[in-house]
C-alpha cells in the first residue's frame, strides 16, 4: 500500500472534512520552491508550506546546524535549565525586534505564542492591581490560532461555531481606513475595562489576506496607546520579510509592547514560538508574591534543535545578499500585481492587492 492510501486509513488531517475527503498527496522531497510526491510529480509550494518556509526547502546550511546540535543536546526541560541556542536566539531577537523588547518567552507554535501574549497581558493588569481591565480588542476577521484563547480573539465563524459559548467576549473593531478612525476611537473611549489590543500588522492572513495602510494604522495605534492598553503584535505570519521589512511593526512609529513570532522563525524547519515583551511588562511579574508568576510552559519549550534552526535562519537573513533580494522580490511582486490588474479589467479576477512580498486577489465567480 502506498503512503497516501495508508494515510487515508490512519490519519485525521487538519481542517479536513471527514466524510468527503480525498487521499492526501504524499510528499517525499523538497528542494527550493518545489515539492515532489512519491510518484515523482513536481509541485510549486505556493503557500510555502503554510507560510513557514522562508529560505526554500532542503536548506543545507540549516540542516547541518540542526545535525550538529542533535549530536550534542536534543531536548532539556526549560524550567531551571537553559542552553546556548536559546540564549543566543533570545539575544539576537532582542537586538532586532522593533520597540524595546526586554524579555523572550518561548513556546512551540503560533497559537501558543498568542496564548502566552494574552496571558501576559491579562495577568499584567491583575498583577498591577487593576483586574477590571480584562477585555481584549481585536480586529474583525482576525485570526490568531486554534486554541481556546486564540479562537476567542479571532473572528467568530464556521471554525469556531461549535465552541462559541466557551469563547470569551472580545471587542472587535474594523480595520482602520482613515475616515473611520473617529468611530473606532469612540468604541474605545470612556471604557475602563480594556486590557490590550492584539493585531496582525498590515495584513490579516487567514481572515482573507486583507491589507490595510501603515499610515492609518499608526494613527489607530497612537489612540490605543494613549489609553494605556498593551499593544500586542501578532507577527506569526508577517514576520521575516513577508511585508518587505523583517517585521511589519517596523513600518509604524508606535511599537508594540508584546510581539508573537512563529512560522518563519526556524526557516520553515521546526516548531517554535516566541512571545517577546518589554521590560515594563516583565516588571509587573517581579514580585515576592508567587501567585504573580506567569504559570505557563510546554514540554518542548525552547527545544534546542528548533532554537538552533532559528539561529541558522537568522544568520542566513543577516547575510549580505538578503536585503537586496527582498527589495528585488518586492519590486517583482509590484510588477506582477500591475499585470494582474489587467486581468481584473477583464473581469476574471478582482481586488488585486499587494503588501511587500505578498500578493492577493479574488477570483471572480459567477453569482
Q: Which residues are known to be catalytic? A: 15, 143, 234, 263
Contact yes or no for 276/104 (Cβ under 8 A): yes
Sign of CA dihedral 209, 97, 281, 123: positive
Report, in Å, the least distance between residue 179 CB and ligand PMP.
26
d(CA 24, CA 135): 41
d(CA 301, CA 170): 28
Helix, coil or strand: residue 44: strand
Q: What is the dihedral of CA 218, 92, 319, 233, to 10 degrees?
A: -20
194-199 vs 135-139, strand pairing mode: parallel
Report, in Å, the least distance between residue 110 CB and ligand PMP.
2
d(CA 110, CA 324): 28
Helix, coil or strand: residue 56: coil
Q: Which is nearer to ligand PMP, 140 or 327 (CB)?
A: 140
d(CA 283, CA 71): 37
Q: Which is nearer to ligand PMP, 275 or 278 (CB)?
A: 275
What count of other Cβ atoms lies within 10 Å of the Cβ of residue 283? 15
Q: Which is nearer to ligand PMP, 236 or 306 (CB)?
A: 236
Q: Which is nearer to ligand PMP, 145 or 267 (CB)?
A: 145
Report, in Å, the least distance between residue 233 CB and ligand PMP.
10
Report, in Å, the least distance between residue 296 CB and ligand PMP.
15
CA 272 and chain centroid, separation: 11
Q: Which is nearer to ligand PMP, 59 or 266 (CB)?
A: 266
Sign of CA dihedral 249, 253, 254, 258: positive
Residues of this chain that bind ligand PMP (CB under 6 A): 109-111, 114, 143-145, 200, 205-206, 234, 236-237, 262
Question: Residue 48: exposed, middle, or buried by beta-carbon count in 10 A (0-12, 13-18, 19+)?
Answer: middle
Question: Grid coordinates representing 230?
Answer: 498593551
Report, in Å, the least distance between residue 222 CB and ligand PMP.
22
Q: Which is nearer to ligand PMP, 78 or 143 (CB)?
A: 143
Q: Which is nearer to ligand PMP, 261 or 337 (CB)?
A: 261
Report, in Å, the least distance between residue 95 CB and ligand PMP.
23
DSSP per-residue letters across 57-95: BT-HHHHHHHHHHHHH-S---SSS---HHHHHHHHHHHH
Amino acid at each position: 500500500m502506498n503512503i497516501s492510501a495508508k494515510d487515508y486509513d490512519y490519519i485525521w488531517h487538519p481542517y479536513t472534512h471527514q466524510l468527503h475527503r480525498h487521499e492526501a498527496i504524499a510528499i517525499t522531497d523538497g528542494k527550493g520552491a518545489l515539492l515532489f510526491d512519491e510518484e515523482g510529480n513536481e509541485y510549486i509550494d505556493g503557500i510555502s508550506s503554510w507560510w513557514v518556509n522562508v529560505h526554500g526547502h532542503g536548506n543545507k546550511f540549516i540542516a547541518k546546524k540542526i545535525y550538529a546540535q542533535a549530536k550534542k543536546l536534543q531536548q532539556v526541560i526549560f524550567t531551571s535549565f537553559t542552553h546556548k541556542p536559546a540564549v543566543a536566539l533570545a539575544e539576537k531577537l532582542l537586538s532586532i525586534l522593533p520597540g524595546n523588547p526586554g524579555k523572550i518567552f518561548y513556546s512551540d507554535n503560533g497559537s501558543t505564542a498568542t496564548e502566552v501574549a494574552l496571558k501576559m497581558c491579562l495577568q499584567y493588569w491583575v498583577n498591577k492591581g487593576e483586574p477590571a481591565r480584562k477585555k481584549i480588542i481585536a480586529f474583525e476577521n482576525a485570526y490568531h490560532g486554534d486554541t481556546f484563547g486564540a479562537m476567542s480573539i479571532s473572528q467568530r465563524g464556521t471554525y469556531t461555531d461549535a465552541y462559541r459559548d466557551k469563547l470569551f467576549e472580545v471587542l472587535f473593531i474594523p480595520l482602520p481606513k482613515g475616515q473611520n478612525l473617529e468611530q473606532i476611537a469612540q468604541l474605545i473611549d470612556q471604557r475602563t475595562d480594556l486590557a490590550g489590543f492584539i493585531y496582525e500588522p498590515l495584513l490579516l492572513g487567514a481572515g482573507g489576506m486583507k491589507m490595510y495602510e501603515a499610515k492609518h494604522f499608526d494613527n489607530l495605534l497612537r489612540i490605543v496607546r494613549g489609553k494605556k492598553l498593551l499593544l500586542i503584535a501578532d507577527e506569526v505570519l508577517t514576520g521575516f520579510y513577508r511585508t518587505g521589512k523583517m517585521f511589519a511593526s517596523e513600518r509604524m512609529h508606535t511599537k508594540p509592547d508584546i510581539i508573537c513570532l512563529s512560522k518563519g522563525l526556524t526557516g520553515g524547519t521546526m516548531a517554535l514560538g516566541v512571545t517577546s515583551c518589554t521590560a515594563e511588562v516583565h516588571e509587573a511579574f517581579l514580585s515576592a508574591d508567587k501567585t504573580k508568576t506567569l504559570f505557563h510552559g510546554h514540554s518542548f519549550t525552547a527545544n534546542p534543535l528548533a532554537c538552533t534552526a532559528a539561529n541558522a535562519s537568522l544568520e542566513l537573513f543577516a547575510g549580505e545578499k538578503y536585503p537586496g533580494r527582498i527589495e528585488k522580490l518586492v519590486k517583482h511582486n509590484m510588477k506582477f500585481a500591475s499585470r494582474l490588474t489587467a486581468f481584473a479589467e477583464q473581469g476574471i479576477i478582482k481586488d488585486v492587492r499587494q503588501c511587500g512580498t505578498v500578493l492577493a486577489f479574488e477570483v471572480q465567480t459567477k453569482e
